[in-house]
Structure 1
Amino acid sequence: MAVPKKKTSKSRRNMRRAHHALGKINVVVDSRTGEYKLPHHMSLIDGTYNERLVIAKKIATDEAV
């Protein structure tokens, strides 16, 4: 079994972890609804993507028991 000969220093350990940070999330404002959304995703409020209707909303009925 491979065993390290020397203890890894704090500096070397931290340099190795320098790339582990999470990146920022890119958020854009939808031009139609004004809501914040991820780019290249559909709008959750009106169901549009790239100014086209993708998903039609269900109409709520009073028949629910």
Structure 2
Amino acid sequence: MAVPKKRTSKQKRDQRRANWKISPPNVTRCASCAAPVLSHRICPSCGTYKGKQVVQVAE
């Protein structure tokens, strides 16, 4: 079974753990209605995706 040869210092341990940070969501504008939309999702306000009508939205 693998055993570490040397003890990992607190600095190295904390540097490794520091990469677990949250990133903001990719919010873009809809091409047809300019509403904020998450990337690779159907626009919730107009129902389009990549310039095509995908879902009929009740108004």
TM class, shorter-chain normalised? 0.5 to 0.7
Shift of 1:57: 2.6
Shift of 1:29: 0.9
Count, aligned residues: 55
Q: Which has the higher strand share?
A: 2
Q: Distance in 2 between matches of 1:58 and 1:16?
A: 48
Normalising to structure 2: TM-score of the pair? 0.66
Larger Rg: 1
* Structure 2 portions without partners, runs of 5+: 1-6
* Structure 1 portions without partners, runs of 5+: 1-6, 60-65
- Highest relative contact order (Cα 8 Å, sep 6+), 1 or 2? 2
Percent identity between matched residues is: 28
Task: Give runs of ≥4 in structure 1 deviating > 3 Å.
Answer: 7-10
Normalising to structure 1: TM-score of the pair? 0.62
